[in-house]
Structure formats: structure tokens, C-alpha cells
A and B are shown apart, each in its own frame.
Chain A
């Protein structure tokens, strides 16, 4: 039985005079606010916040929480977004007071444990990417793309090629953030076509590759779930023209310990730790967007970065043999420090160090798996995706063929032509069966795209049941699907009306 009363708007639950917070009495001599602050700065009254007691807060938000599908409650086969299980040990670690209650501007000698973790993370991410330098500062994947493109711009400025290097090339199936980031960083974007198998159209690539190229941005494995067949050739050709290769690391879940972007020609990459290393998505954030680059580009990375202090005698670098279970005890001489004084750095892209809470979760994930475990992650992600592909391809053709990496993009165009059922209808109907919808209509290069990524943390039984559900749905009365979902708290919203007449906040009474 759904509780609808307590999911009214928070403001409708408010009643003047109710309150949850009780503050301690002021224990220092108190003066009137008007005597301490200029009259022109003081508000006549505090903001019109809702007035609700604590039990109502809990009931309101917990009832709202039940209106969500989440990884902890449902299978979430959402391609491109890697919705894998979020380990609980990581949550506990990030909440430890010795991490959560650190101020970002404490002196280095008071945060050696924190800096140890961050230094190790820089090393781990470099090792996994094959790119030796790392900045943990960017706050999200797109923020990392942007920071890396600023690094590229700084590099071209340094070698006197700013006027020449104006073009960023990106395939037509790239994430929308790629061209948007390129424009923010001051470049023009040029779209390169892809072929029906999802790979870069090499003819179009060579047509657009010239001496004006700054960066080629590529997602690999790409958004249709295949490893770019001409990766090495593309990277060599870009380098031969003096350009740089950017690897959109959204799909690193497929290749951990199998291949490394630095080894297949990337000069820069970002990570999405919330995808690859299982940080929770939080309903849309926070994430993080650390970047790794080649030695040549290292000096341009955002500041600060964590450095090991020379002569501290510490050997905790992420080496496979040296366990870091026993970091050095407290010493007056710090072993790690933050390097701010980096004259070639692009500067900073946000306040303080970065999204440390997300990085801590990723650190726990990497330490839990170790080198073999990380490779197993990718093996099982790829196995699950290929298995699911093998089960559904008879119902929903996959234009890119019988094999994929960690995700695949099926096409609902046959279903639409034959039965009038759109990819969106299928997605909405899946909600009735307790599955979050796959990503639909992305990438734009596949008609009626249905993008599925099961991840490694799902069982064969779950995948079998999901495939059976898909099969069942495709046989249902199309009318039933057009009207789906039928069991959720709401039916399909009128998105056109929402955009045409925006109501973006609740009116003040």
C-alpha cells in the first residue's frame, strides 16, 4: 500500500511553528545582530523554508526513496553508464571520520594518511591506463575531458602551434560531452563518420585529418560496444600529423588489465571512477573525473597533485610486491606533499583537491580486487554482455554482429516496422517487470537503439530472466506497450508540456 500522504510536496507538509533543529544556547556574550552587522546587509526574516519535525522528514524522504529504482533494488542494464553493484565496504571507508572530517587546507604533515591514499591512486590509475602522470582534481567525466583538452591547448601553446591546432575530431557515435568539452576548451569540433560495424570510417577520417588537428577524441571500446578495429592506425596517423589522441574512459570496465590506453596510442584519458571502480551514481552524482596523460603532457596537469617528498625514504608506491598494509608510522617529516608550484600547469578546474570521497571508494575497489581481480572484472563484464547478446539477438538484432565487449546496442527497428512498437515502448514496459530500462536512442547512429550493459555483478539467472522478459514483451499486444508502464507510481509524463511551460519550483505561498 503506497503512502501518498507523506509524499506530498515538502512545502505542503509544513506548518508554522514546527521544527526539527534545536541549537545549543549561545555560550558566549551575545550582542544584537543589528549591532554587529550593517543594517543594509541584514534580512528582515530568514528564508521561507518548510517547517517540519524530524519524524516527518524521515517519513517524507523514505517514502520518496521507494519511488526509485536503484542498483540495490533492481537490475539496471543501462548501457553506457555501467550500473554495477556498489560495495558497502567502500561506503563505510569513505565515511570514516579520519577521512570525512578532514579540512582540505590542513597542513600536509597532518594528513599523511589521506595523501598516501591519493598518491597511491595517482599511481594505480597511471598503471591501469599506461599513462604515467595523473591528476585527481576533475569533478566528473566531462570535467576531466575539459581539463585534458585544456592540457592539450597548453601543450600546443607551448610549442607555438595555437593558431594552427584548432580542430578536435570526434566520431559521430561519441558522447555528447566530447564536442561540448572541445568547444569550451576553445576548439572547433569536426565529426567523423562511423561505419555500420561501429568502427571509425577510415576514408572519412583521412579526409578530415590534416595539419590543423589538435585532438582526436575516441571512446574505446566505443559506444556500440566494440573495440575500435583501427585503433593503432588511427593513433599513428594522428601522431604523424602532430595531433594528440584523447581516450574517453567511459568504457574502461571492459579492458582492465587486458589492454591499456597508453599502449594503444592514447596521450590523455579520463576515468569515470563511479563506473569503472563502482562508486555509486547517487541519482546523477557525485562522480569524479581523474585524468592521466603522457610524460610530455605531465607538467600541464591541473594543480595540486600529490608528490612524494624526496629523501623521505618511503617506498609505498603502488608496486605489486610491496604491500602497503603497513604505512610508515607518524614522523615529523612528511612523506607526501601537495605540489602547487607548477608553472606550466593549466591551473585549477575546481576548488580544493578533488572529489576525494569518490576516489576513496575507487581506492577500496582497486585494493579489494588487486591485479588479477581487476582483470576478472572485465572478463566477467564481457562474458555477461556476450551471453546476454547471444540470448536476445534473435528477438532484437544487433547490427554490430555476434560479439561485443561489455555492452551492445540492439536495434528495435524491425520490431517497430513489424509491430509498431518503439524502443521507448519496450523500455517503458520493462519497468513493469522490475527492470530498469536500457538506454534507448543512443548512440544516434543505430536506429531505435537499445543499449544494454549487464555488468559483471549480475548472475546468469538474472540475465536469463531478463532475456525471457524481453521475449515475452515483444509478443505482447502493441497497445499494452504503447501505454506502458502500468505498474509504476506514475504513467508516462508529458515532457513537451514540461518544456513548453516550465514549472521549475514550487511557488512561494
Chain B
């Protein structure tokens, strides 16, 4: 076995020290009837070389951003990952360390988490951030639970249909066995109508959850939505896109009390959807209801500034069934990568990245919609994604042919929105060049899509 040290001689010496005749004897506490009397039915062991060959054969069966040009979005994006993120993220002292309960042996992790929390509050404008949750969707569900706890007898949460469908599904799962109701408001214009919200909101509403930019890439009128929510005594929970904050207002600027995000876009590849980074930030009044780990600054016995995990009395290992949540694991390694990403971007880099997404998405939409087969489904301005309607109502066929031409061209929306089954969602990150976009447009608009793939 490649990772074990014990030689037969070692084993014999160790068994003698224990006073056992054999290793099997050490398993004697497991009743004989419960012991597995056959080998596990698993494939035989592979050497490292064989494993490598096996995996190469498997990856050859995948199309990926690299063999195809990726215009897929919907919560996962092909943003550029700077090399510094890989260098720091693959540093053993970060990735093979444990949760920093022993502060003296973990000041590196603790300071990075403290800096991460600081970076996130600078992004959101809110007072505090935790040191990360599982992903954007579960962070949204945790945010909703926080708002319900803070809201006393209020048990209703309103979400527009422009909130990511998988986020809404996750919240609905979390609500299944508790006294809470998720109300979804239809958004035929692609954005939430403030008057419709005003009509639906009442004194049982604990929170309104708004995605900005929303699932369709559209910019919501967040100021008005926030005003309606506040007017009814409900909290506004913002689901934001970290990259967008290079040019868009921060959640705190439009009145959000809790802000959550999917943070994989900050220096972690798409990885088929996980692991990702759940960002959470809130204002001071909610900090003791916040789930997950929090790092605080303090001093050591010699008066030196240092960092520790703090406010642990909210957590499951202290409070058990009275804890604010059951969250125990965070995404520390990806919080490290996100910190490195934000440090390397700086304010100007983040702004330029966001601007490239904005400009290129606009360019794609304009180019594509010059062909009368295609139109934008919604009038609202968009940031990094846009919903395109296919007048021929053949989205699946179109997208399948685009794959053959070298493009992962978009997400069909009919799966989540039956009324939009003639529409698909296209995302354009800073990585897409004009040639990529022109190639996609040519491929989608050609009578025959069997054009040479993008070069």
C-alpha cells in the first residue's frame, strides 16, 4: 500500500506491545455475525500510472471549456483563474491543515480568514461576514433561516421567479418540515415588479430575497424592492454576483441586511459545480444569528495581536440542538483562493473584469439579434448573461448543433420556465474574445451550422 509504513516486522512488534495475537483480534469487539466475510465488491487496485491512464481515458469522453467554447452560465461561469490562485491554493500548509481550533498552530489560516471576512465586507458594504458556507444556494437557504429567526412570528419569505431556480428549490427543501412558507412571484418582464411585491408582502413576511443581477442576467430595481420590503418590516436578502460588484452598487447600498453569493467565480474553476464557495455577509444586528465559523481579532498573553475562531457559542459543537445551524464545515480553501483573487484583481481589476463581461454580453446580444430568428426575451438591461428567444422554437436542436460546431452555446430555459421553452440563457465572461462571439453568432445564425469550429 502506497501510504502505509507498517512492515510485517513493525506489525509484529506493535501487536506484542498491545498484547494481541493478530490484527484480526483487534476487530473482536465487532460481533462475528456482523463482520463481512468476503472482500468488498470493488475493482482491483490500480497503480498510480494505471490510475492516471484510466482518468485520461475518462476525461477524453468529456467536452469541456477548452475543447469547446463555453457560453454557459446560470450560476457557474467560465471566468479566468489567475495562476496565483493555483499556487497559493495548492500550498500544502493551507490545503492539508485542519479547522483552526488550535489558534497558536493556525495563525496563517486564521489571518487569511480574517482578511477574507474583511474583503467580503468591502464587497458587500455590510458589517460582518462569516468565513464561508457550502455554496450560493445553501447560503441563500441559511440566510432565509436567519431572517425567519430574526423575524419572530413572521413565517413567510418572498422570492421572485428571477431568483436562480436551484436556489429556490434548495430553500423549498429547507422549508419542508418547518413552519415557513416560500412564496414565488412570477416575473413576466424578466424582473420583479415592485407593485406586485407590494401586493404580496404582508406583516407575516420575514424576508424578500432578490438576486442582482438576476438569473436572467437582468438588473433589478433593487432600490425600489428594498423600499417595499423595509416598508413592510421585512428584511432584504441579496443574492449577488461578486464579479458584478466591480461596477454595480453593493448590497448594503440598496438596503440589504443579508447578502449571499456563489463565490467560485473568485479564483476557483467550474469543477462540474462543486465544491463551491458560499459567501455570507450581514449587518451587525444579525451577527449572532449567522451560521458557520467566524474569525475575530484579539491579543495573546504577551499582548500581541492575533486571530481566533470566535462566538462559538452559536455553533453546534457547543449548543447542540440550540445552535443557530448545523454547519460545521466551511470552504476555507476556496475562501483562501477568493482572497487571493480579490487581492490580485484590486479595485481596478475587478472593475475591468466586470466591464468586459458587460460589454461583451451586449455585443453578443446585438450581433445575434441582427438575425431575425433571435431576439432578447426581456427589455431590462443585463450584465453578464442574456436570455435569447428563438423564433423557430427549436432551442434543443439549435444548441445540439452548436456543440458539434464547437460551442457550449447556452442553457435551455424550458426546464425551469415552461413559458420560456423557446429561450436560452447565454453567458459571456471576460475570457470570451470577439472571435469567440463572432464564431458563435455565425454558427447559430448559419442555415447550416456545420461551420468549422472556432479557431
Contacts and interface: CB of A to CB of B under 8 A. Distances in A.
B274 interface: yes
Interface in B13-28: 13-15, 17-20, 23, 26-27
Contact of A498 (B1, B98, B310): B310
A103 B76 contact: yes
Contacts of A47: 122-123, 245-246, 250, 347, 350
A27 B433 contact: yes
Contacts of A346: 173, 176
Contact of B93 (A65, A286, A431): A65
Contact of A89 (B51, B132, B353): B51
Contact of B43 (A288, A323, A495): A323
Contact of B118 (A103, A110, A351, A505): A505
Contacts of B127: 505
Contacts of B31: 231-232
**Which 3 pairs, one residue from A and one from B, show the smallest C-beta to C-beta distance?**
A98-B59, A352-B273, A104-B273
Interface string B422-450: 00000000100110010000000000000
Interface residues of B, number: 206
Interface string B53-76: 111111111111110101010111
Contacts of A70: 92-97
Interface stretch (B200-208, B229-237, B317-325): B317-325
A57 B64 contact: no
Contacts of B4: 376-377, 380, 456-457
Interface stretch (A79-87, A202-210, A238-246): A79-87
Interface stretch (A291-299, A362-370, A411-419, A468-476): A362-370
A36 B247 CA distance: 11
Contacts, number: 719
A351 B55 CA distance: 25
B398 interface: no
Most buried by B among A258, A263, A350: A350
A254 B75 CA distance: 38
Contact of A110 (B52, B62, B94, B315): B62
Given A231-B34, A325-B54, A457-B3, A41 B222 contact: yes
B99 A283 contact: yes
B453 to A, nearest CB: 14
A309 interface: no
A377 B55 CA distance: 23
A375 B40 CA distance: 9
Contacts of A339: none
30 contacts: A43-B253, A49-B342, A50-B343, A51-B346, A68-B100, A91-B95, A106-B72, A128-B40, A139-B138, A143-B134, A176-B315, A177-B317, A180-B323, A184-B145, A184-B174, A185-B177, A257-B36, A258-B35, A282-B332, A320-B40, A325-B57, A348-B137, A349-B174, A377-B1, A382-B26, A492-B300, A493-B300, A494-B298, A504-B295, A504-B297
Given A280-B96, A499-B313, 10 more contacts: A26-B355, A104-B270, A128-B42, A143-B327, A180-B325, A281-B96, A283-B95, A330-B61, A348-B170, A352-B276
Q: How large is the interface on A (under 10, 10 to 19, 20 to 34, 35 or more residues)?
A: 35 or more
Given A43-B253, A428-B104, A485-B104, A280 B350 contact: no
A460 interface: yes
Nearest to A110: B63
A420 interface: no
A102 B18 CA distance: 50
Interface stretch (B109-117, B153-161, B369-377, B387-395): B109-117
Contacts of A409: none
A352 B72 CA distance: 13
Contacts of A117: 58
B403 interface: yes
B199 interface: no
Nearest to A111: B62
Most buried by A among B19, B221, B344: B344
Contacts of A358: 274-275
Contact of B381 (A37, A325, A369): A37
A356 B54 contact: no
A322 interface: yes
Given A280-B95, A288-B275, A382-B26, A258 B66 contact: no
A477 interface: no
B93 A66 contact: yes
A391 interface: yes
Interface string B118-138: 110111000111011011111
A366 B173 CA distance: 31
Given A19-B349, A101-B78, A189-B321, A37 B72 contact: no
Contact of A351 (B100, B262, B351): B262
A87 B362 contact: no
Interface in A258-306: 258-260, 263-264, 278, 280-288, 302
B236 to A, nearest CB: 15
A23 to B, nearest CB: 4
A281 B121 CA distance: 25
A139 B274 contact: yes
Interface in A365-417: 366-377, 379-380, 382-384, 386-387, 389-391, 402-403, 405
A402 B59 contact: no
A431 to B, nearest CB: 5
B23 A505 contact: no
A495 B275 contact: no
B333 A93 contact: no
Given A47-B245, A103-B76, A111-B272, A368 B2 contact: yes
A311 interface: no
A375 B245 CA distance: 50
Contacts of B351: 46
B35 to A, nearest CB: 5
Contact of B42 (A10, A127, A227): A127
Interface string B352-381: 110110111011000000000000000001
B27 A257 contact: no
Contacts of A327: 57-58, 61
Contact of A54 (B65, B84, B339, B358): B84
Nearest to B334: A286
Contact of B300 (A24, A232, A324, A491): A491
Contacts of A318: 41-43
A49 B119 contact: yes
A432 B225 CA distance: 56
Contacts of B323: 176, 180
A68 B94 contact: yes
Nearest to B381: A37
Given A176-B316, A320-B39, A286 B176 contact: no
Nearest to B41: A320
A69 interface: yes
B108 A48 contact: no
B90 interface: yes
Given A283-B109, A505-B117, A177 B326 contact: yes
Most buried by A among B103, B114, B272: B272
B17 A387 contact: yes
Nearest to B109: A283
Contact of B1 (A31, A227, A373): A373
B441 to A, nearest CB: 11
Given A68-B109, A150-B173, A98 B94 contact: no
Contacts of A41: 212, 219, 222, 248-249, 381
Contacts of B84: 20, 54, 57-58
A141 B327 CA distance: 9
A495 B101 CA distance: 11
Contacts of A57: 84, 88, 340, 343-344
Interface string A325-367: 1110110000000000000001111111111111000001011
A50 B346 contact: yes
A83 B58 CA distance: 29
A485 B102 CA distance: 11
